[in-house]
Amino acid sequence: MSDQRLSGKTAVVTGAARGIGEAIARRLAQEGAAVVIADIDLAEAQAVAATLPGAVAAHVDIANDASVAALADFVGGRFGHCEILINNAAILDMTGIETMTMAHYRKVLDINQDGAVRATLAFLPLIKAAGEGRRIVNIASIMGVRGQPDAVPYSTAKGAIVNFTRAIAADLGRYGITVNAVAPGFIDTRMAHLPDGSGHEHDTDWFKDIYLKYGRILLGRAGTPGDIAGPVYFLCSTDAAYVTGQILLVDGGVSATF
């Protein structure tokens, strides 16, 4: 049951047409926010927005300066304010150092790292001018705080998001704007499907053996997008008014083991 604690607030969620971003958008809308479903796939964004009261869809390519600026202009013109920015949009990439090229490395970082920077820069004037409850939440990953084979660009970008969160929290605290990150673990989304199309990583023998049979995930299961949406809502709520510069690992306990 919702208490509508975000009523009157505008929230922008990038990459909100599916997966974790969609779950976050739905939770924020449930709590009363007017949500902008921002995604590179406008048709999918429109389909999600149509199911949420007060939500609107908007196209954005977070790797493109002009596209991100246009999104901020749209939100400013439509709502006049923006209290909440969720930097969620990203691509999965599993590339190791031996097969990686600099061009590929830069492409992944341009989306997964610089995309959050672009959006923050574009929306900061709107957020600064808004009222109470101004929040920026970045979606990082446990791969940004732990090492994993064959994930150099992705892990590097998510690691940068971790410290980008702390750095801008230090800059924006003077305005009463909180900045935090949520770092998901293994989450059951479309992104978890194997690149070769052979199935889902959570159904593989290596996942079941390492993370379930031997207890690396303490709760014994992969997470759901809703498992991430709840903590993100908490960080956007008044309950988290004194929480900033923090990285919240939401991973079923996998980071607590070795």
Residue 145, CA distances (Å) to 180, 247, 255 in order: 15, 10, 9
- Measured in degrees and rounded to the nearest 5, phi and psi for residue 241 equal -60, -25
- Predicted pLDDT at 25: 98
Model pLDDT for residues 197-225, shown as the tens digit of each residue: 566 566 666 666 566 666 788 888 889 99
Q: How far apart are CA 156 and CA 141, in angstroms?
A: 11
pLDDT value at 47 more than 90: yes
Higher pLDDT among residues 59 and 150, named by residue: 59
Out of 67-76, 142-151, 184-193, the most confident range is: 67-76
Place of tokens 């750095």: 167
**Confidence at 192, pLDDT banded by 50, 70, 90:** low
State both tokens at 56. 């609107």
- Predicted pLDDT at 197: 59
- Predicted pLDDT at 206: 60
76 contacts: CB under 8 Å, gap ≥ 6? 82, 126
Q: Could you give the strand order of the β-sheet that contains 178-184, starting from the edge strand earlier in sequence? A: 56-59, 34-39, 10-14, 84-87, 135-139, 178-184, 247-250
Kind plus residue range of the DSSP H or E element containing 56: strand 56-59
Residues found in the chain: 258
Determine contact, residues 86/11, Cβ cutoff 8 Å: yes
- 3-state secondary structure at position 150: coil
The per-residue pLDDT of the chain, averaged, comes to 92
Would you name the residues annotated as active-site residues? 154
Q: How far apart are CA 61 and CA 71, in angstroms?
A: 9
| Range of lowest pLDDT (68-82, 123-137, 198-212, 241-255) | 198-212
- Average pLDDT of span 85-108: 96
- Measured in degrees and rounded to the nearest 5, phi and psi for residue 102 equal -65, -35
DSSP code, position 151: -
- Predicted pLDDT at 217: 83
Q: How far apart are CA 184 and CA 120, in angstroms?
A: 20
Residue 65, CA distances (Å) to 60, 109, 116, 117 in order: 10, 14, 11, 10
Q: Can you give the three-state secondary structure of 94-139, one letter per residue?
A: CCCCCCCCHHHHHHHHHHHCHHHHHHHHHHHHHHHHCCCCCEEEEE
Quick one: fold of 10-189+223-256? Rossmann fold (3.40.50)
| Nearest-10 Cα torsion for 142, 148, 151, 156 | 50
**Confidence at 153, pLDDT banded by 50, 70, 90:** very high
Determine contact, residues 92/155, Cβ cutoff 8 Å: no
111 contacts: CB under 8 Å, gap ≥ 6? 62, 63, 89, 90, 91, 157
